[in-house]
Structure formats: C-alpha cells, structure tokens
Chain A
Amino acid sequence: MKFKSTLENYLFVLPAVLIFSIFYIIPFLWVFQLGMYEWDGIMPTKTFVGLGNFKEIFFQDKIWWQSMFNAGYITFIALTFQNILAFLLALACDREIKLKNFYRLIFFIPPVLSEVVVGLVWQWILDGNYGLLNGWLVHLGFPQFAHNWLSDPQTALTTVAIVHSWKGFGWGFLIFLAGLQTIPRELYEAARVDGANAWQSFKKITIPLMIPVTVLVMILTILGTMQAFVLIIAMTGGGPAYHTEVPVLRILASMRGSSRFGYACAQGLSFGLILMVISFIQYKFSSRARKI
C-alpha cells in the first residue's frame, strides 16, 4: 500500500521530469562535451581539440569581443536611459493622477509585442530612403540630420539601443511602480508633519526604500539586454560590418553560417559563465537587501 502510494507520487512528477531531462539536462551536458570538439554538425566523426575553441575565443576572435562590447554598450544605454525613464514614469504614476491605469496599460504594450514585429516596424520608420523619421526631418527643415540610421556605422548601434529601450522600459516601469506602492503612505505623512519638503522626503524615504527594487531591475536589465538578439536580427542582422553584432548572434552564426557546432557551444559556455557571475552577484545583493 505504502509502495503503491509512493509510486503514484512519482507518476505526478514523471511527465515534467521526463521532458526536463530530455530537453534541458541532456543538451546542457552536451554543451560541455561539444565545446571541446571541432564538429560541423553533420559528420559522424568529431575532432577533439580540448580547450582549443576557448583559446580561439579569448585570443583570436576579434568579432566576438566586438560583439561583447556592443552588447555592453546597449546594456549601458538600457541601464541609464531606459531605467531612469522607467523610474520617472513610475514616480509620476505613483501620485494620485488621472488616467493612471490608462498609462499603465499603454506603457506595457511594447514589451508584449514580439521582437520581430518591433524590429521590422522600427526598421520601416527608420528607413534611410522612405522612412517616416527622415521624411519628418526634411519636412521640419532639418534635412542635414536625415540619414540612413541603421546602415551608418556611426549611428546604427545607438539607434538599436534606443529601440531596445523603447521595447523594454515597460518592465522596469511596472516593477518600480509596484515597489513604490509598497512604501507606507504614513511615512510621507509623518515626514510632512515634521516639516520635510517633497525633495527631502524623496531623498530620505523613497530612495533608500527603493534600493532593493532598483538592484533587481538593474540585474534583470543586464541579463536580458546582454542576451537580446532577435530585435537586432530584425533591424540590422548585425551589420553594417559587425557594428551591431551581439554575442548570441555570433553563436547563431557559428552554428548556421560556418557550421562550427563545437565552437558555438564553447562561445555559449564562455558567455553563460559571465552571465552566471552576474546572476550570483544578484543573488548576493537580493539576499542582503532582504536582511535590511
């Protein structure tokens, strides 16, 4: 009877464990193995190269490091421009303001759209010849600013970063707003009675209490933005001349373009390790924040 009951319990988790083992654990372990081989993905034989792939990534693959730099740049814009905008909007919506729910509805529309849709629509707006933005610039009397936003190496990366921020700020906005709403109103009341002005209570109450939420939003932004790539496929495909190339796009190119499956796995591993370190710092920070 006891045995039958235990068996029944296992049957509950069996489908989940089975799918997870086949589609998560096996591929996860394969990455470590394949990363040490040179393999085109088709041939039955693989050539063992040890740490050769990693050596190549770290010492020879200049485009890989450029893609890391590009992802870092987009992440920097997301951390500053995108998150500051999200925080300001959350502050504005935290007040007793008309249409609060309407704004909350609108600001989360870009995040629910797919990166393909967002990328292709913005590519059309930013098109160098027929795009609406250039049309407006000419119409308003600034033809000198009109140019090919996405194929000019000078502007391509920043343009992509700004569209990425447009798509992503709604996440930070919602989380910041939820954080602001957990701050007890009595604290502000008490501060006002004690003679504090709006700026003082913002500095002494809002900012310190929002630090844990801010750390969380920052880490989510870093992890999300470093791994973003579909938006870039849809807007520039990584061009012009690798100026908007990002790491996951390189992994995809190693696999599909040059058919180097082992190298692609090694790139994924090195990149994953860097992200793990960031994740770990997140964990440390959030557990410390909880203690406060």
Chain B
Amino acid sequence: MKSTLYYKAKKVTVNALIHVLLISVAITCIFPLIWMISSSLKTQETIFSDTSLIPVKMHFENYVQAWKEGGFGRYFLNSIFYTVSVVIGIILVSSLAAYAFARFKFPGSNLLFFMFMAAMMIPIPGSFVPLYVLLTKLHLRNTAIGYILCMINVGLSTSIFLLKTFFDKMPRELEDAARIDGCSKLGIWWHVALPLAKPVLAVVVVFNALAVWNEYVLALIIFDSKGLMPLQVALMTFQGEFITRYPLLMAGLTITALPIIILYILMQKYIVKGVTQGALVE
C-alpha cells in the first residue's frame, strides 16, 4: 500500500510542473513587450550593442522625438478620433436596429435581420478591393468620413447580434410603464432600453474599440495623405522610411500598444465575456 506521503509528493510535483508551464508561457507573453519598452529607451548608438533589459541611462526624450518629429502625436490623435467616432456610430446605429428587431414586428424585419446575420457567416477575403473602387466613385477615398463609415459597417453585424440577443431577454415592464406615461418609441429606446443594456454595450464598445484601433488594411488603401493616417499604417510607413531607427520605432510601437493594454486591463471582464459568449452561442 502506497503511503499518503507518496500521494502528497506526487501532487506537489504535478502542481510544480503545472506552475512551471504557466509561468514560462506567461513570461513569453510579456517579454517581447518589456523588450519593446526597453529598446525604446536606448539611443541609436547603444541599441545594437546594449542587451540589458533595464538600460543604465533611460532616454525618455525618444518619446518626445517620436511624438513630434516622428509625427506619432498626429497619428495618435487620428487613431483616437477614428476609434471614438466609429464606436459611437456603431452604438447608435446597431442599438436602434437591434431594438427594432427585438421589439417591433414589421414586414421584412426577419429578412433584414437574417441578412445581417448571413454577413457574419460569409467570409469575403479581399473585400478591400471593391471597397476601394466604391470609395473612389463616391469621392470618399482619402477622407476621414469614408474610413469611419467603412469601419462602422465592419462592426455592425456582430453588434446587432449581441444587442438583439440582450433585448430579447430583457423584461418589458419598464418599457410598458414608459409607454403608458406617453413616451415615444425613440424616447423609450434612449431613456429605458439603452441604459438597461449597459453591460452588453460595454462588450460592444471594447471589441469595436480594439478592432478600430488595430485595423490596418482599410486604412492602408483608403488614406494617401500622411495627415489622415492612423497609428498602424504610420508605423509601417515609418519602418519603411527609417529602417534602422529602432529606438524611435519602438517608442512609436509603445505609444500604439499602451492604450490598448490599459483598456484591456480595465475592461478584461467584458472581453472574457465577449469571447466566451460569442463562441459558445454560435
């Protein structure tokens, strides 16, 4: 008969192995980011020889230089502007539609809803080709509004799906009370339905903000002027022009990555919810 000591030792060993696996993967996840920040604090002279993780002398002026001379200040504001505009647009447009699909019955409502859902299922790789043609014809290429409208469309289907699922399950009592008080349909949507939908709106906001901030290819084909470019395209352009200016490039990458990491840490709950709900519902 094996002693309890044997089982205890076995359990400790197994747990230790599990922790080794988890910790080493966790380090692999964070290390490239630490190296990115570390490289952003070195100078053009030391970056190719200095392999220390924490540089002896930290050159924070790289950030000032990237922000001003590298133009990342401008690109950063562009990215903020696109992200905020698209997210607000998606919230308004998709919640109006989702509310109507959940609460009102009108001719063609099922067909329209099905159309949005079908778009989620059908992959069109290279959809940027006809979009380029369309925006050129509408004279919306190389304009902020053209990019914003395209990106609203990208997030529309999933957001309508998430919001309609929520509205379907939402109890109707409050809306009925508001209606008796003489509130219009639009008033009920704004004053009753939207405030109640806050938890799912948070999921919609986080996922769309991530998608817009990180978007690359549409911005690449839509914008010619540097003044309109968001960060992702600007980074690639910068890398192409100044291939060896690694400290500045790394500062630009940090400026791009940091807001997303902060947003993620603050809203982690909603991201986990979004991923698991979205995946397990389908």
Contact = CB atoms under 8 A, between A and B. Distances in A.
A286 B279 CA distance: 11
Contacts, number: 245
Interface in A195-243: 213, 216-217, 220, 223, 227, 229-230, 233-234
Interface of B: 15, 18-19, 21-22, 25-26, 28-30, 32-33, 35-36, 39, 47-48, 51, 92-94, 96-97, 99-101, 104, 106-107, 109, 112, 115-116, 119, 121-134, 149-150, 152-153, 156-157, 160, 185, 189, 210, 213-214, 216-217, 221, 232, 235-236, 239, 246, 249-250, 253, 256-257, 260-261, 264-265, 268, 271-272, 275-276, 279-280, 282
B239 A272 contact: no
Contacts of B124: 28, 31, 268, 272
B156 A19 contact: yes
A279 B130 contact: no
B97 A15 contact: yes
A81 to B, nearest CB: 12
Interface of A: 6, 8-10, 12-13, 15-17, 19-20, 22-24, 26-28, 30-31, 34, 41, 85, 88-89, 92-93, 95, 97, 99, 102-110, 112-118, 120-122, 124-125, 129-130, 132, 135, 139, 166, 171, 174-175, 178-179, 182, 213, 216-217, 220, 223, 227, 229-230, 233-234, 247-248, 251-252, 255-256, 261, 264-265, 267-268, 271-272, 275-276, 279, 283, 286
Contact of A16 (B93, B126, B221, B232): B93
B25 A89 contact: yes
A265 B48 CA distance: 44
A153 to B, nearest CB: 21
A27 B134 contact: yes
Contacts of B213: 114
